[in-house]
Amino acid sequence: MTTIRSSLFLLMTAILLPACAAQPGVDYTVRLDRARNQIVRIEATIDQPGEKAEFVLPTWRPGRYGILDFAATVRTFDAVDQSGQPLPVEKIRKNAWVVDSVGAESVTFGYDIFANELGLRTRHADDSHVFLNGSSIFVMNPDRRLDEHIVRFDGLGDWQVASGLAKADSENALVAANFDVLVDSPIEIGEHRLIEFKLEDVDFEIVIWGECAKTDEELSDDFRKIAQACMDIFQSNHFDRYVFLIHSADGIGGGTEHLNSTIMQTRPGSFTSESRYRGFLGLVAHEFFHTWNVKNFRPAGITPYDYDKENYTTQLWVAEGSTSYYDDLLLARTGQRSIQNYLDAVAGSIGSVRGNPGRAMTTVEQASYDAWLKFWGPSSPDHRNTNVSIYTQGHIISLALDMLIRSETQGVSSFDDVMRLMNERYPYEVGGYTPEQFQETVAEVAGTSVDEFFERHISGVEQIPLEDLLRTVGLELKLQDPDPEPFAGVSLSDSGGRTVVSRIYDDSPAFEAGLILDDEIVSADGVRLDAGKWTDILDDSEIGDLVTLGVFRRGKYREVQFKIDGKVSQRYDLDLTDEPTESQRVHFEDWIGQPWPEDD
């Protein structure tokens, strides 16, 4: 039996049960006979439907907070009763259908899905495999949401099925405790490589579709180290089985967390390049850490999921950013990333945060709330001026809170304790946590008020004093070059034989001069220009130089003139202090899980 906490905290158990004698709430059949044509047919059957039976396809998927409108790929739909006789069916909104089921003992709602989307990890089919993320494939009957759901497969042939879902008693079938478990448990079907290992009474599976040059032993050893590092933080496991699904193919990347599984995508080169493989292991750490942070404790605004619309919260910076803090830190603790390599990565993230003009305009809480619009929503070039990344900004805030806690408690406590307490106190079945509850937990672990920190750096936009905080673990944060560099505030790109403005920084010389996005730039000081030459001009410029650009806007020529300004580049070094105190050494070793590096 596979145990895992479910997606609804009311009226639900925490168990993925094997099929029992009771009739399932919804019984699905997945027909694969046209998979090579990227068409998958789904038939959803319910008994005793009453006068009307409603079926709703989610508009987004867990793990990506953006509307994806999966109903757009429904090709055809129909409905029949228990005898196969057609029933009237009407589409009542973009993602919902109602079947007139008066007098029917059962209703089967059938529909064809065009499954050709791989990169967003939703649904993809061809002659080599079928990948199904449940939210993009399975309709929900709202009245049966909390009931058991069965998924059967027709046309498997020699293909195997891999999923975090439990196997049903019948052959070629999976069972979910309810709809929320079903759609948070992706399914991989095909010929795939399977690697198994056990750790702390948890059965792990690594399932690979595509090319992977690493041996079974290499992968299981590396995944085991990461899993152990996560388990050491939380000190409790709410699952006894976990599945890593991997897609390895050109042109894809990224991952999505699920209840007791993850789907991760990467290129085959990730398994032959040391640096790329290290990046892939960071993805593994990120997604597995999510098994606690998001899948077991998550913000109240996304608890329980409303699949019809956006689910708002100001705490995605904790859900995603704190997880991002740990993905590389865990690799440093396991020795899968060198200390210097890790410190260089942290320095890069700090530079990214401090160099982002949106940091002065948008709080990380607002960025969390607006993620549906400005992170996963429709792209706008202006977002780079007005928004911050919940991942990177949340990462650096979590780092700062870790340093603050270690300093205030003389190393007795850390951000690890915050994560552990959040997991213990706010598991999903008791409801999502509020911003106040998270802040109270941080304050409790720190043994002091953190009101000022949260007001300035989380609800506000003030720069975090990382230079001071990082000294707690004996680290020195310094600008690589404190002198201003020539800065125009405009980026150009070459496209279709034209050189156009691709980015404008607020309050920059180019901004004040009136350049706008998509202006075609044909010359600089009378000389023909392209994006590469513009970079050379900036490299050779001095602060105060006057530049005249020849510009076409909607077919009309004009000249724009401005002076090159100076700006300090936000590139940082993060180094060990030359003469650490004993407490700095101890705090560093407790934080990173490795001895303080000694000079050769």
Q: Give residue-wise pLDDT tens across range 260-276.
A: 999 999 999 999 999 99
- Whether the per-residue pLDDT at 5 is higher than 60: the answer is no
Structure tokens at 592: 């990173």
Structure tokens at 308: 């019809």
Band of the pLDDT at 80, cuts 50, 70, 90? very high
**Spatial contact of 267 and 250, defined as CB atoms under 8 Å apart:** yes
**Spatial contact of 167 and 174, defined as CB atoms under 8 Å apart:** yes
CATH 2.60.40.3650 residue ranges in the chain?
2-190
Topology of domain 2-190 in CATH is: Immunoglobulin-like (2.60.40)
**Spatial contact of 290 and 415, defined as CB atoms under 8 Å apart:** no
Share of the chain above pLDDT 70, in %: 96
Give the per-residue pLDDT at 7: 35
Question: Beta-carbon neighbour count of residue 598 at 10 Å?
Answer: 5
Q: Rounded CA gap, 429 and 446, in Å?
A: 27
Give the per-residue pLDDT at 19: 37
Structure tokens at 489: 């505030």
Give the per-residue pLDDT at 2: 38
> Which position has the higher pLDDT, 103 or 20?
103
Give the gyration radius of the chain's Cα atoms.
Answer: 27
Total number of residues shown for the chain: 600
**Spatial contact of 549 and 514, defined as CB atoms under 8 Å apart:** no
Task: List, for residues 287-319, the tens digit of each pLDDT value.
Answer: 999 999 999 999 999 999 999 999 999 999 999
Give the per-residue pLDDT at 395: 98
Give the per-residue pLDDT at 379: 75
Amino acid at 240: D
Q: Rounded CA gap, 14 and 392, in Å?
A: 33
- Whether the per-residue pLDDT at 3 is higher than 60: the answer is no
For residue 257, the surrounding DSSP H or E stretch is: strand 254-257
The residue ranges of DSSP E strands in 452-555, in sequence order, are 475-479, 485-487, 490-495, 498-504, 520-524, 527-528, 546-553
Q: Which CATH architecture has domain 192-277?
A: 2-Layer Sandwich (3.30)
Band of the pLDDT at 370, cuts 50, 70, 90? very high
Give the per-residue pLDDT at 600: 52
Q: Rounded CA gap, 107 and 46, in Å?
A: 6
**Spatial contact of 80 and 110, defined as CB atoms under 8 Å apart:** yes
Of 42, 51, 40, 59, nearest in space to 108 by CA:
42
Task: List, for residues 440-463, the tens digit of each pLDDT value.
Answer: 999 999 999 999 999 999 999 999
For residue 31, the surrounding DSSP H or E stretch is: strand 26-31
Task: List, for residues 568-588, the tens digit of each pLDDT value.
Answer: 999 999 999 999 999 999 999
Q: Rounded CA gap, 400 and 385, in Å?
A: 24
Question: Beta-carbon neighbour count of residue 108 at 10 Å?
Answer: 22
Look at the block and give the residue holding tokens 């806007």.
Answer: 553
Q: Indicate the burial class of 42 (C-beta count within 10 angstroms; 0-12, 13-18, 19 or more).
A: buried
DSSP string, 352-409: HHHT-GGGGT--HHHHHHTHHHHTSSS--TTHHHH---HHHHHHHHHHHHHHHHHHHT
Give the per-residue pLDDT at 8: 37
**Spatial contact of 156 and 22, defined as CB atoms under 8 Å apart:** no
Q: Is 335 left (phi over 0), alpha (psi -120 to 50) or beta?
A: left
Task: List, for residues 215-227, the tens digit of each pLDDT value.
Answer: 999 999 999 999 9
CATH 3.30.2010 residue ranges in the chain?
192-277
Q: Are strands 52-56 and 96-100 parallel, antiparallel or unpaired?
A: antiparallel
Band of the pLDDT at 9, cuts 50, 70, 90? very low
Structure tokens at 45: 């059957």
Look at the block and give the residue holding tokens 């800065």.
Answer: 487
CATH 1.10.390.10 residue ranges in the chain?
297-478+572-600
**Spatial contact of 155 and 31, defined as CB atoms under 8 Å apart:** yes
Kindly state the DSSP code that residue 140 receives in the 8-state scheme.
B
Query: CA 73, 77, 82: angle at the middle one, nearest 5?
Result: 145
- Whether the per-residue pLDDT at 519 is higher than 50: the answer is yes
Give the per-residue pLDDT at 17: 39
Assess if CATH 2.30.42.10 describes domain 485-567.
yes
Question: Beta-carbon neighbour count of residue 556 at 10 Å?
Answer: 7
Q: What is the mean pLDDT of residues 132-155?
A: 97
Structure tokens at 30: 């997945």
**Spatial contact of 491 and 501, defined as CB atoms under 8 Å apart:** yes
Q: What is the mean pLDDT of residues 237-247?
A: 97
**Spatial contact of 212 and 321, defined as CB atoms under 8 Å apart:** no
CATH 2.30.42.10 residue ranges in the chain?
485-567
Q: What is the mean pLDDT of residues 21-39?
A: 89
pTM here is 0.93
Task: List, for residues 483-512, the tens digit of each pLDDT value.
Answer: 999 999 999 999 899 999 999 999 899 999
Strand partners, 254: 265
3-class DSSP string for 48-74: CCCCEEEEECCCCECCECCCCCHHHHE
Question: Beta-carbon neighbour count of residue 67 at 10 Å?
Answer: 17
Assess if CATH 3.40.1030.10 describes domain 297-478+572-600.
no
Q: Indicate the burial class of 124 (C-beta count within 10 angstroms; 0-12, 13-18, 19 or more).
A: buried
Q: What is the mean pLDDT of the chain?
A: 94
What is the Cβ-side half-sphere exposure of residue 528, based on CA atoms within 13 angstroms? 2
